[in-house]
Amino acid sequence: MDDDGRFLGGYGGACDPYCKTHGSYIHRRYHRPWLARKPPRLQRRRRRRTCALRALPQHPSVTDGSKDGNSPRWARTAVNVEDHMIVPTLDPAAMEADPDRAVEDYVASVYTLPMDCSRPLWEFHFLDFPTSEAASTVVFRVHHSLSDGMSLITMLLASARSAADPTRLPAMPEPPARTGAIYVPWRREPTSPGALAAFITWIWPYLVLAWKTMVDVSLFAATTLFLRDPCTPFRRADGDVTLNPCRRFVHRSLSLDDVKFVKNAMSCTVNDVLVGATSAALSRYYFRKSGGSNTYRTWLRSVLLVNTRPTASLQTYANMIESGRSNDVAWGNQLGYILLPFHLAMHDDPLAYVREAKMTVDRKKSSLEAIFTCKISEVFVKMFGLKVGAFIFRHMFANTTISFSNLVGPTEKIELFGHPVVFIAPSVYGVPQALIVHYQSYNNTIKIVLSVDEEIFPDYNQLLGDFAVSFGLIKDAASRLSESIKKE
């Protein structure tokens, strides 16, 4: 292989049914592998990969069960890098005929391979043949108990360098302009004089915040106990696909500039656009599969994973690691959960999906649901043990339809150990859902990554195409809207 190879961002992983000891209730459920490029000098890459992973506190650790068998702990162990580097032997005819399909098939097969819990729960799979997008591929599989998506992206950034200037870290988006938390109520000036009016104006937003939080947390509790989404083509009848061996990971690129164009035309956020495009794609797929009337409306819910760390840019965390202060970084899984509804309907105006998404997301922003779900889960685990935490986690996913996540990446092209990165495409598996949707930004693109149950979605490539088509329709409608505004 020449030095013009490419790095490919990775696919996430999931609960390993063969691995019985875990360090957290998230550890019980799923892993996160990744894709990367096999280097021309594998020995040098092995050494550098180990250096990159040292930032993670659990990098050289395995799980060790306690005496009561209910509270496993991390135990330090020696790391033999050779045990974590896998170079599979694939069918040369398959690689020659359709290399993209060969990569897809191999990533699907990794899902069925058990992780060895006697050693640290991460590994690299090197696929040394060119595809339509890259000169070679590396699958990085890591158990989710080691860290969440933000921590892994931070580790990637701290290990990478700007392609334009290899002496510096990659550039990241600026942190949000807001000075407080996203849920801080907006207060209006009192419309009438007097202390009572001022007090009511001051306290009313907090009462609304408390009410919406109580409603959302109650729905979360009901979901973990009995409240289940309606039956749709997106769900298995029993609602559990955890151990189904037929799972596929596919991805498609969108233009980040196009997403920002829609955002500006609709005066919303990038998240609003992505939620709207997802709703449009799911609606398109649903009505094609079910043959329902265009006037029919239904709904499903997604579990939206939310980073609960204090507002700070990834650049700040990467700089901490670069300066040797990796212990100051908030590692681990610090996630809250939001139950985000998706309304399935056929709209004549594609922008209606974005408008509905904005209303839904704005409603969720005025609630402490993510913080409460995170803290409640932690309290239950500490009080009642991992089995109760696993029960909450499992039923939350089993009673909803999809998972949804959006990760921010570098704003410029990067190099990893001297090799340029083509794209980053994270995903997960092992949760009891048939469809998991990830969005990952990198440079001027956004990757749509779907983790799908192949038995429920045998036409998964058509589902992926629905995302691209739906966003294209939304973008065209936004262009017409902008043109009409300019004419006025």
Residue numbers annotated as active site: 144
If phi > 0 it is left, if psi is from -120 to 50 it is alpha, else beta; for residue 443 that is left
- The tally of CA atoms less than 13 A away on the side-chain side of residue 64 is 9
Element (H, E) at 301: strand 298-307
Cite the DSSP H helix spans in 135-177: 149-159
457: Cβ contacts below 8 Å, ≥ 6 apart:
248, 434, 435, 463
Residue 217, helix vs strand vs coil: helix
Bridge partners, 66 (sequence order)? none
Which position has the token pair 């997301």?
361
Cβ atoms 305, 335 nearer than 8 A: yes
Cβ atoms 105, 94 nearer than 8 A: yes
Cβ atoms 400, 302 nearer than 8 A: yes
With 0-12 / 13-18 / 19 or more C-beta atoms within 10 angstroms meaning exposed / middle / buried, residue 245 is exposed
Main-chain phi, psi angles of 348, to 5 degrees: -70, -35
Cβ count within 10 A of residue 192: 9
Whole-angstrom distance, CA of residue 438 vs CA of residue 424: 11
Element (H, E) at 482: helix 460-487
If phi > 0 it is left, if psi is from -120 to 50 it is alpha, else beta; for residue 268 that is beta
Whole-angstrom distance, CA of residue 292 vs CA of residue 344: 11
Whole-angstrom distance, CA of residue 312 vs CA of residue 309: 8
With 0-12 / 13-18 / 19 or more C-beta atoms within 10 angstroms meaning exposed / middle / buried, residue 37 is buried
* 160: Cα separation from own chain's centroid: 20
Cβ atoms 420, 6 nearer than 8 A: yes
Whole-angstrom distance, CA of residue 383 vs CA of residue 378: 9
Whole-angstrom distance, CA of residue 327 vs CA of residue 448: 32
292: Cβ contacts below 8 Å, ≥ 6 apart:
286
Whole-angstrom distance, CA of residue 347 vs CA of residue 339: 23
Cβ atoms 239, 13 nearer than 8 A: no
